[in-house]
Amino acid sequence: MNSRTWTALAAIWAIFLAAPAGAAEIKHALSNGATLITDEADEVLTDRAALDEISAQSQGEPDPTLEAYWGSPEFEVYFNHEAVGYVEMDDWDELDVDDLWESYVEGAKEQSKLFGYEIRPLRWIVEPTLDRRSAVAYYALEVQFGEEEPLINLVVYDFGRYGYEEMTLVQSSGAFPATRAGGIATRIAAAYEFGPESDYGDFTEGDTIAAVGAGGLVAAALGVKFGKGILALALIFAKKFWFIFLVIPAAIWKFFTGRSKKAEA
């Protein structure tokens, strides 16, 4: 893309970040009782059949935790719901960013063997960050697949009373405004609303506590054995590749272009 195209994309992201609540927005009801609020011009999929096809193309089988896809010409976001219980945050300060990166790089080598081409983690765009007040954690990575253009994977965890929502944004590296990654993560999290009495602050004594804390959750997603509850987490991540949402855009492209061709026929 030329500089004019990148300038246009940056302008669109600025509008996305600055868009006032309620301006040309649509509320989408999700399967777990939550709501996703997006611009009316964006494409949102919540239909089970469509979501199953998306996850089956990328993972080999449908993923019942994928409950929404939010796309526009500039970005794609995937929403996975995990009802694992209330995720505590007391283990966050035990995270070692260097260990996380080293583990991710080693995992990439194994994934490269599996896929038959090199997967190269390039850098942190944003190191794992926790906003305790909003009960949101996020990180962003830049990864290159073979000779393709590097991709950004921004992962946001929005914690609730009964579990968490994992929101993964995928975008080409050149189009992603890295200096505004934190604001983008916050905006994505704000677009998602848990159901009645299901926010993190609605926790009541006696509610189920997740087997792993926020730090352990992020560590496990990056392939690090960390803290308590790692066996329970293995059940969550066993059905997914660590890099699944970096692989998924190719499947999405085939899915939507195929659908468009059928519509034109």
The predicted pLDDT at position 223 comes to: 73
Strands (E), 56-118: 66-71, 76-82
**What DSSP character marks residue 180?**
G
**227/224 Cα distance (integer angstroms):** 10
Domain range list for the chain: 22-259
Architecture of domain 22-259: 3-Layer(aba) Sandwich (3.40)
CA-wise closest residue to 127 among 149, 158, 96? 96
Question: Residue 237: its pLDDT value, please?
Answer: 39
pLDDT of residue 148: 81
Q: Is the pLDDT of residue 261 over 50?
A: no
Amino acid in the structure at residue 97: V
Region of poorest pLDDT, from 17-26, 47-56, 104-113, 238-247: 238-247
Structural tokens at position 126: 């944003």
Over residues 199-257, the pLDDT tens digits come to 999 999 999 999 889 998 898 888 765 544 333 333 333 334 334 444 333 333 333 33
* Average pLDDT rounded to a whole number, residues 179-200: 93
Q: How far is CA 72 from CA 75, 76, 109, 117, 205, in A?
A: 5, 6, 32, 28, 41
Kindly compute the dihedral angle of the four CA atoms of residues 17, 153, 123, 110, in this order, to the nearest 10 degrees.
170
* Higher-scoring residue by pLDDT: 72, 3: 72
pLDDT at 16: 52
> Are the beta carbons of 236 and 244 closer than 8 angstroms?
no
Kindly state the greatest CA–CA separation across the chain. 57
Confidence of residue 58 (pLDDT cuts 50, 70, 90): low
> What is the distance between the alpha carbons of residues 36 and 189, in angstroms, rounded to a whole number?
10
Of 125, 119, 165, nearest in space to 144 by CA: 119
* Tens digits of residue pLDDT in 107-166: 888 778 877 878 888 999 999 999 999 999 999 999 888 888 888 889 999 999 999 999
Distance, CA of 47 to CA of 32 (rounded, Å): 13
Sheet holding 136-145, edge to edge: 43-45, 66-71, 76-82, 164-172, 151-159, 136-145, 119-131
Q: Count Cα atoms within 13 angstroms, Cβ side, for 84.
A: 27
**Residue 102 in this model has a pLDDT that exceeds 60:** yes
- Looking at residue 11, what is its pLDDT? 41
Residue 260, pLDDT above cutoff 90: no
Q: Count Cα neighbours of 103 within 13 Å in the Cβ-side half-sphere.
A: 16
Residue-level pLDDT at 225 = 57
Mean pLDDT of the 185-206 span: 95
- Between 155 and 171, residue with greater pLDDT: 155
From the list 181, 175, 142, 182, the residue with the least C-alpha distance to 12 is 175
pLDDT band of residue 23 (cuts 50, 70, 90) is low
19's tokens: 């868009």
